[in-house]
Structure formats: C-alpha cells, structure tokens
Amino acid sequence: MAMYVYKDSRRTIEFLAEDALKQDMVIRYYCPNPNCNAHMYLCGVDGLSTAHFSANRQAFPHIEKCDYGTSNGFKPDNSDENSFDFEMALENMLNPTKATKKDKLPNTHKTGESNLKPLRTIRQIYDMCIAHSCTQTYNNKVIGKMLLDDRSEYMYPKGVFGYRIIKSKPKTGGFYNTNEKEIHLVAPSSEKYEFF
C-alpha cells in the first residue's frame, strides 16, 4: 500500500493520497520506486478504507521485491497513529520482554475501547515509513527522521544520530570483519555512510 505516488514518469511531482479526490481514481500514477513501472491507481477514497494507491491492474504490476507491492502490509486503519512513539517503540525492542499474565476468563464485554494498537515491530514501522513520502509525518514525526534510505539521505548531511531504521546493504569486499567480529553495512545506495 502506498500513501503517495508521482504524477509524472520522471517522478518530480509528488501526489499524496490524503489530497486525492474521487475523480482522481481513473488517473494512472507512477510507483515511487524509480525502477518499477507499475501503474498505480487511487483506491479507498470512497470512505470504506483510508485512501491509498495500488497497482491493481494485472497487466502492470510491481517488479519483484518492490517496497510498494504486496509485501508492504501497512494499513493505516489497523493501527493507532496517535499512540505511536518512534523512540519508545525502538527502546522497547531493545529491552528484554517481560512475561505477560493472561486472564483465565477474558472480558468479552468491554465497550468503547479501541482494539487498535500502535506500530511496535521494525517491519510494521518500516512498512509505514515506506508507504509515506519521507517528508510526510506519522504522529508528528517526520518519516525521513525515522527511516534512512535513498529518499531521505539529504536529511542527514552531517551523519546519522539517534534511533533510526536504516535501509542498508552489505559492504562490498568487507562485509564481515573476523578479527573484530563485526558486520559492515553501507547506506543508502550512494554508500555515504558505513555502519558496523
């Protein structure tokens, strides 16, 4: 699911799902992945679900492993954006889990409470970040300040500091240092930064 697309093939004119109208449903848009020629169309603007873009024409699907294809499981209607805290979510992943106590008889009569939960796994947060433009926000946090990838590289002119999800790849010729027992990664595709 994509929350944004491009109006032009050169991918210079960004178009957000939140700005779309019903008459935009018949227009073909371009996948945010510059290597993917999927034909993207507006969906969900009729109110049944959150407006989004999808490559729903069989003749023009996403390329294999495209971040905006079916592997992206982000659905805004299935999570609580207002209770999402990026730093807290990553801190919780670093802490050992505590055993939870389950009620013997679950209370099935709770009313008025939302069953929605904030994003809590790296995959959920990554899918949400990929679905949005790096300049958009999710609970007032800029997407590019949560995910370092090709789109957000310009937001890191002096380095990468603090908690971030980083889309990286193994360093060519020196992926694993056996003496130090370190894995070396580079990001984004320009290989501007090295992590180990």
HEC profile for the chain? Answer: CECEEECCCCCCCEEEHHHCCHHHHHCCEECCCCCCCCEEEEECCCCCCCCEEECCCCCCCCCCCCCCCCCCCCCHHHECHHHCCHHHHHHHHHCCCCCCCCCCCCCCCCCCCCCCECCCCHHHHHHHHHHCCCCCEECCEEHHHCEECCCCHHHCCCCCCCCCEECCEECCCCCEECCCCEECEEECCCCCEEEC
Q: Is the pLDDT of residue 87 over 90?
A: yes
- How far, in Å, CA of 115 to CA of 80, rounded? 9
Q: Is the pLDDT of residue 106 over 80?
A: no
Q: Is the pLDDT of residue 15 over 80?
A: yes
In a domain? residue 188: no
Domain that holds residue 62: 4-98+116-167
What confidence score (pLDDT) does residue 111 get? Answer: 57
Confidence of residue 91 (pLDDT cuts 50, 70, 90): very high
In a domain? residue 67: yes
Q: How far is CA 109 from CA 4, 100, 102, 103, 105, in A?
A: 39, 21, 16, 14, 11
In a domain? residue 180: no
Q: Is the pLDDT of residue 109 over 70?
A: no
pTM recorded for the entire structure: 0.85
Q: Is the pLDDT of residue 30 over 90?
A: yes
In a domain? residue 125: yes
Confidence of residue 62 (pLDDT cuts 50, 70, 90): very high
- Total structural domains within the chain: 1
What confidence score (pLDDT) does residue 171 get? Answer: 87
In a domain? residue 181: no
Q: Is the pLDDT of residue 146 over 70?
A: yes
In a domain? residue 58: yes
Confidence of residue 97 (pLDDT cuts 50, 70, 90): confident
What confidence score (pLDDT) does residue 1 get? Answer: 81
In a domain? residue 9: yes
Instruction: Give every CB contact of residue 61 below 8 A, 6+ residues apart in sequence.
Output: 38, 55, 69
Share of the chain above pLDDT 90, in %: 69
